[in-house]
């Protein structure tokens, strides 16, 4: 009773609008992101995206998924894709995503993704899709298989995102364009049908949003690189990590400093800074007069040490397939319930007769 009166007084003071505003501010923000299961995640995936996912779950409602449908845009070996999807799910948990705190699932287990993707593809301008850098890159790399899925990929990604009405989407720099595309769809769709989708924002880290190849530091580090020395996977053994860093391409100078034109060193400094938490100034000070050899060895050691618990967690999780299955089934069930609400709203808005 007393509480009710207190609430009424508060309402009188602030008015309905003020209370609503406050309630809105109190709403826990929603985070969503995904990753393709096309191989063991790289240090780039970890630094650009996943390392933030675990920390965000303490403060927000988070949803993370294995984007297996996206992987079909490039031809996959079926048994390998199945294995990699399970490994990717285990890797997310090994990186600290806790299924008790976050929603974790596998994209193809939740029908609404493919369904909303079709609807959104009917609102995706051909011109915008053809300007997508990833489409241009991938169709050049896989010229024998330029398929419709590769082209409409951003509509599926928009569906993945919008089904869960997130506030932020934590991704690396290479996904910025897809996020912009999603935002354009929201504007277009909401412009026609009213406030159906929440406008999502990309959350791109200031440092490490684009980790570069260790062999060609003008190119993004990628798990599909044909040269295994170009990337670190988060399951590489410590000696492998140290050796890959030792072989990392740098320049003909000797000074460890972050400067335009020193792509290799800039990349190593970025990695080292994210992994250790040290600023660039501190790193420059610490390595003044010590040369690249020393620096590369320390970057290798620091990365190997950081990834050690992930490797150990992963090995443990893969021993217990029943647990993994139980978790991804639970995730799919929850994801279906959330996403179907948005899907039903969309279907109604666009004029589909409800069953």
24 is catalytic: no
* Shortest Å distance, C-beta 180 to ligand TYM: 13
Chain contacts with ligand TYM (rule: CB under 6 A): 33-36, 44-45, 47-49, 67, 70, 157, 160-161, 169, 171-172, 174-175, 209-211, 220-221
Can you tell me which residue has the tokens 């490039």?
74
CB 197 within 8 A of CB 190: yes
Q: Dihedral through CA 320, CA 101, CA 67, CA 124, nearest 10?
A: 170
Q: Which of 220, 262, 296, 306 is catalytic?
A: 220
Q: Which of 138, 244, 296, 306 is catalytic?
A: 138
* Shortest Å distance, C-beta 93 to ligand TYM: 16
* Shortest Å distance, C-beta 144 to ligand TYM: 21
Q: Which of 5, 101, 219, 223 is catalytic?
A: 223
DSSP assignment string, 205-264: -SSSSSPBPSS-TTSB--TT-S-GGG--BTT--HHHHHHHHHT----S-------TT-HH
Cβ closer to ligand TYM: 161 or 304? 161
Rounded Cα–Cα distance for residues 249 and 230 (Å): 9
Cβ closer to ligand TYM: 99 or 217? 217
138 is catalytic: yes
* Shortest Å distance, C-beta 111 to ligand TYM: 16
Cβ closer to ligand TYM: 97 or 221? 221
Cβ closer to ligand TYM: 171 or 324? 171
8 is catalytic: no
> Between the CA of residue 123 and those of 182, 191, 235, what are the distances in Å?
11, 12, 40
- Helix (H/G/I), strand (E/B), else coil: 184: helix
Q: What crossing angle do the helices spanning 148-162 and 176-193 adopt, rounded to 10°?
A: 70
**What is the set of active-site residues?**
138, 220, 223
């Amino acid at each position: 009773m007393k509480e009710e009166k207190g609430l009424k007084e508060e309402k009188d003071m602030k008015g309905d609008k003020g209370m609503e505003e406050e309630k809105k501010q109190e709403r826990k923000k929603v985070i969503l992101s995904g990753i393709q299961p096309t191989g063991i995640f790289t240090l780039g995936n970890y630094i650009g995206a996943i390392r933030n996912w675990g920390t965000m779950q303490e403060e927000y409602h988070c949803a993370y998924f294995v984007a297996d449908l996206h992987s079909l845009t490039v031809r996959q070996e079926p048994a390998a894709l199945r294995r990699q999807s399970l490994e990717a799910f285990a890797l997310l948990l090994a990186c600290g995503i806790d299924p008790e705190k976050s929603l974790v699932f596998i994209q193809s287990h939740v029908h609404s993704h493919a369904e909303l993707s079709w609807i959104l593809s009917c609102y995706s301008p051909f011109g915008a899709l053809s300007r997508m850098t990833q489409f241009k890159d991938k169709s050049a790399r896989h010229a024998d298989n330029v398929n419709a899925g590769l082209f409409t990929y951003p509509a599926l990604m928009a569906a993945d995102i919008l089904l869960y009405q997130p506030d932020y989407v934590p991704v690396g720099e290479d996904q910025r364009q897809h996020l912009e595309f999603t935002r354009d769809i929201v504007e277009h769709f909401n412009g026609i049908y009213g406030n159906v989708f929440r406008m999502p924002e990309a959350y791109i880290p200031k440092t490490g949003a684009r980790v570069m190849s260790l062999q060609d530091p003008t190119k993004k580090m990628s798990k599909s690189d044909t040269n295994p020395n170009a990337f670190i996977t988060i399951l590489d053994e410590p000696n492998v990590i140290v050796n890959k860093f030792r072989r990392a391409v740098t320049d003909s100078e000797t000074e460890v400093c972050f400067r335009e034109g020193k792509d290799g060193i800039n990349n190593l400094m970025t990695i080292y800074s994210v992994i250790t938490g040290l600023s660039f100034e501190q790193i420059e000070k610490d390595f003044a007069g010590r040369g690249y050899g020393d620096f590369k060895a320390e970057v290798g050691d620091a990365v190997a040490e950081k990834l050690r618990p992930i490797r150990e967690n992963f090995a443990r999780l893969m021993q217990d397939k029943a647990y993994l299955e139980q978790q991804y089934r639970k995730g799919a069930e929850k994801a279906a319930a959330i996403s179907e609400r948005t899907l039903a709203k969309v279907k109604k808005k666009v004029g589909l007769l409800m069953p």
